[in-house]
Amino acid sequence: GAGVSQSPSNKVTEKGKDVELRCDPISGHTALYWYRQSLGQGLEFLIYFQGNSAPDKSGLPSDRFSAERTGGSVSTLTIQRTQQEDSAVYLCASSQGTSGHNEQFFGPGTRLTVL
C-alpha cells in the first residue's frame, strides 16, 4: 500500500482481556517498529524487527506484551491481561532497513482504551 496501515483504529477493552493490534508496513520496508504514546507524552519504543533477524524486544514494558512479524511483512502486537496503564496510542512505523532508521514512516496508530 501507499503507507503504513494499522487496525483497528480504536479499541476499547475491559481490564484483564487480551488484545491484538495489527500493522501493515510499507511494501518493501524490511524494518518495522512499534511505539506507544500516552496522552501528551513522547514516543516510547517497544520493539523492532529487521528482516529475518531476531527482534529487539528491549522496550517491551512487561511479559504481557509480545509481537510477531509473519513473512517479513505484517506484524501483530499482543497485550495479554490488559491493565488500565496500557491505555495509549500504539504506533507502528516502517523504514527501508538499516539505511532508513532516521526516516521512519508511521501509521495512524491504534488508540487503546482499557476500562
Partner 1 sequence: DAKTTQPTSMDCAEGRAANLPCNHSTISGNEYVYWYRQIHSQGPQYIIHGLKNNETNEMASLIITEDRKSSTLILPHATLRDTAVYYCIVRLPRNSYSGAGSYQLTFGKGTKLSVIP
Binding residues for partner 1 (CB under 8 A)? 4, 31, 33, 35, 42-43, 45, 48, 56, 58-59, 91, 93, 98-109
The smaller minimum CB distance to partner 1, of residues 81 and 101, is found at: 101
CA distance 110 to 88: 8
Q: Whole-number minimum distance, CB 45 to partner 1, in Å?
A: 4
Torsions phi, psi for 52 (to 5 deg): -95, 5
Q: Whole-number minimum distance, CB 57 to partner 1, in Å?
A: 9
Q: Cell numbers of 43, please?
A: 514516543
CA distance 97 to 95: 6
Q: Whole-number minimum distance, CB 84 to partner 1, in Å?
A: 21
CA distance 114 to 96: 33
The smaller minimum CB distance to partner 1, of residues 14 and 39, is found at: 39
